[in-house]
């Protein structure tokens, strides 16, 4: 008899299992493939490993001479890139396996099937439990006509490649599409990026998207906004994609086509059979409890905020609630991070979500930052959104090298209701990119020093 059975070993499930064990509970974790889930095996970790290699290759080609560094015939070996990627995945996975043993969590390899609210079937074994945590995760979206054309990639397929295609058309200009566009273009390949919305990165402000668009175009990426892909057909050289907007049509040939329009929760028949409330994903309250009292759902299966760090936070919250506490999820300061070049990071509200007369918006350009000059970086900015009356920080958006690390200052500020003075009175180290945040903060009251 277990106190809790967790189904899914991704960043929601394994984190929840560890915290439950730390809280004195007897825990089983069920995983049908590899521990770490999508993030470790087919998402965050391998993507960032590949982007690290691409960034180094691009930096050496673009900046070497500027820094007085000479290197002849710079090249890359895709097998070496993938070896580094696979090593990063394996080390992360083994780390999780170690944590399972350290925390005395029973790991079952197989598909967890809900028999009822207290029993989970794994292979031929029935696990009895007080609570169930559903952390089954998500999978790449695939639909017609793309599902009927052999050879079209999803994000999962990129990590299996043994050579980089000379050209790739990417459908979807969100986070996944932009990151893979950055990778392929940085490796010198031709990229076509097609986005149905008004601009790429549609969840971000237009000025943020414009900065990344400018960077991608310099790398040779052709970007088609307000275009949809109506059809894809195989050709002698790969594929021909037919794209169209309200007033234009084009046919584009590429060696590969990558469908990167998002992910969908993994919902199985057993979940429906026992009566879970399912809409787009499994519905929970803000304690992560479903409509069945002893069953919780965390991570991508909820189809709410499909990010690894949110999944882990939900796992921790659910674990404490199972242990008898009363915790609620707070999504007010979720950091969104994109490993483009430059990086993008945002938290709190975006400018397009504001009522302009109620806020003050201030921007500070990366080009005016001292550390940026030492690195030959000019693109990007920090934008701070401040409540006009209370001077509380409502949102921060960053387009800059190291943006994905810098955003934590914004997360703490938004999450804790910090004011302009709270941050202005905090000394920022010099010379660092975080001084760009300080510059944007100073601009709220029109007192920027370095601009």
DSSP string over 218-281? HTT-EEEET-EEEEEEEETTEEEEEEE-SS-EEEEEESEEEE-S-EEE---HHHHHTT--BSSS
Q: Which two tokens stand for residue 200?
A: 């790429």
CA distance 6 to 276: 16
Helix, strand and coil in the chain, % to nearest 5 = 35, 25, 40
C-alpha distances in Å from residue 276, one per residue of 43, 96, 117, 258, 302: 28, 29, 10, 34, 12
Cis omega before residue 123 (within 30°)?
no
Q: Which among 336, 346, 339, 278 has a CA at the least distance from the CA of 310? A: 336
Residue 431: Cβ within 10 Å count: 12
CA distance 219 to 343: 15
Q: How many CA atoms within 13 Å lie on the side-chain side of 418? A: 21
Q: Which among 377, 384, 398 has a CA at the least distance from the CA of 443? A: 384
Strands 238-244 and 249-254: antiparallel
CA 97-99-101 angle, 5° bins: 75
CA distance 423 to 206: 26
CA distance 151 to 414: 44
Asked if 347 and 418 count as a contact pair (C-beta separation under 8 A), the reply is no
Q: Indicate which residue of 55, 309, 320, 430 is catalytic.
A: 430
Active site residue 199: no
CA distance 33 to 36: 9
The catalytic site residues sit at 430
């Amino acid at each position: 008899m277990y106190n809790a059975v967790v189904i899914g070993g991704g960043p929601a499930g394994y984190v929840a299992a560890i915290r439950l064990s730390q809280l004195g509970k007897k825990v089983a974790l069920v995983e049908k493939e590899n521990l770490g889930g999508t993030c470790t095996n087919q998402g965050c970790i391998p993507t960032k490993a590949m982007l690290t290699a691409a960034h180094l290759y691009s930096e050496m080609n673009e900046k070497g001479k500027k820094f007085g560094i000479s290197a002849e015939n710079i090249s890359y070996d895709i097998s070496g890139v993938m070896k580094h990627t696979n090593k990063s995945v394996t080390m992360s996975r083994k780390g999780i396996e170690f944590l399972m043993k350290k925390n005395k969590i029973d790991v079952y390899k197989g598909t967890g099937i809900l028999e009822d609210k207290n029993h989970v079937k794994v292979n031929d074994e029935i696990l009895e439990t007080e609570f169930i945590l559903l952390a089954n995760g998500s999978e790449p979206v695939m639909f017609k006509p793309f599902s009927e054309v052999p050879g079209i990639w999803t994000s999962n397929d990129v990590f299996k490649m043994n050579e980089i295609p000379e050209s790739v058309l990417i459908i979807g200009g969100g986070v996944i599409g932009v990151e893979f566009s950055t990778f392929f273009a940085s490796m010198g390949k031709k990229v076509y990026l097609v986005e149905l919305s008004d601009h790429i990165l549609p969840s971000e402000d237009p000025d943020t998207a414009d900065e990344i668009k400018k960077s991608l175009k310099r790398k040779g990426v052709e970007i088609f906004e307000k275009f949809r892909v109506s059809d894809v057909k195989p050709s002698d050289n790969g594929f021909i994609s037919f794209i169209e907007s309200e007033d234009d049509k084009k046919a584009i040939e590429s060696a590969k086509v990558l469908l990167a329009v998002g992910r969908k929760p993994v919902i199985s028949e057993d979940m429906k059979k026992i009566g879970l409330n399912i809409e787009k994903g499994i519905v929970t309250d803000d304690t992560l409890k479903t409509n069945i009292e002893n069953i919780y759902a965390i991570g991508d299966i909820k189809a709410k905020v499909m990010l690894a760090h949110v999944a882990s936070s939900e796992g921790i919250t659910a674990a404490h609630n199972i242990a008898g506490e009363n915790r609620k999820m707070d999504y007010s300061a979720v950091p969104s991070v994109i490993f483009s070049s430059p990086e993008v990071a945002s938290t709190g509200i975006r400018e397009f979500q504001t009522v302009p007369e109620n806020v003050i918006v201030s921007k500070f350009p990366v080009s005016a930052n001292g550390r940026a000059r030492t690195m030959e970086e000019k693109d990007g900015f920090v934008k701070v959104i401040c409540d006009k009356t209370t001077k509380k920080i409502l949102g921060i958006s960053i387009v800059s090298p190291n943006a994905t690390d810098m955003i934590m200052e914004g997360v703490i500020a938004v999450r804790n209701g910090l004011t302009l003075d709270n941050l202005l009175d905090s000394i920022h180290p010099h010379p660092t990119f975080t001084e760009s945040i300080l510059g944007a903060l100073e601009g709220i009251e029109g007192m920027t020093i370095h601009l």
